Chain A
């Protein structure tokens, strides 16, 4: 009996340690998630938000012959080092009314629209840098499925992914630590029960 209690106490100490380490390791993403969540709830309707004026520049460029639109998009992305840009899938490539190729490069920092003006041998760049809150929203939403070549973004993607698993672990380990330390504490019981009841009621009501 005593050895079982000792063993339980040891397991509990380890879980508490891992709970602490998981929290310390992922505190940056936890703060990002919290800020993004608060912003999402308090922000205006997207249709009412002010759109920034894009920064427009032109660059000399001659499109190589016999290149597909996707390959051209990738060439432009690398030649002009569009920062943090995602490769454009073929379904997202479009043409404007004058049949110019229009390429929208999305990144966590901006949206850069490139219009290929073939006859003028130029590219028109319209860069819209997003604000800091939208940037945090985009990085929080960048999942492991994103095909982003940039190492900075890839590094964040892996950290973000690990944080999701750690968040799950911290929730369950937190519940375990409560149940093995102060299960009888009335405030804790009320807090858990009321949160669970609120969630279930809201879920059932909206379902």
Chain B
């Protein structure tokens, strides 16, 4: 299958300090890739490169002409006192497929309602963003990511704020979405990731690709990936283990 997105031998960093090096990543339609890694390992940097927010210092990025990215950022950089409504936030997602002077159409407005009821927030359409909880805000941002009908959804730590009741819904929703579109999910919480994704990769300076969603401590050790691991068995269970590395 031709890739939607392909990174080849990417290096990137800030102020001459290299955070990523030799990263290769290929995302095909219907992929569900989970990216794990320690804090400071370069997860966010990798996303910035993919999203054109950071110019790589080395390597090439190939994007398929039909690639349409929907992006759910982490909520913590948002000014919650900004006077803006839920509807306006969601509608802003349309710019990834609309020219910047285009006004929202009827279709967009219907889509806003659909998405809001999809995430269980129908009654919040005209609420101010500052009136929402962290979890609700994240759901609104998920709607914003989806309004332009992306074929690749990128989620940055989606389980940071989402409340437990919605978490299960979110995963169901992602599984549903994954039938049609590719998903790239970044998380420090491996538990979430391994239960959902089809392939998993660890970012820690470089990117180590693992062609299944099963991680063992041996694999992590060989990747130098200092993170808790989960394993699957016949009976659902979780094995959490911290392993030292230097």
Asked if A and B are interacting partners, one says no
Residues of A within 8 A of B (CB): none
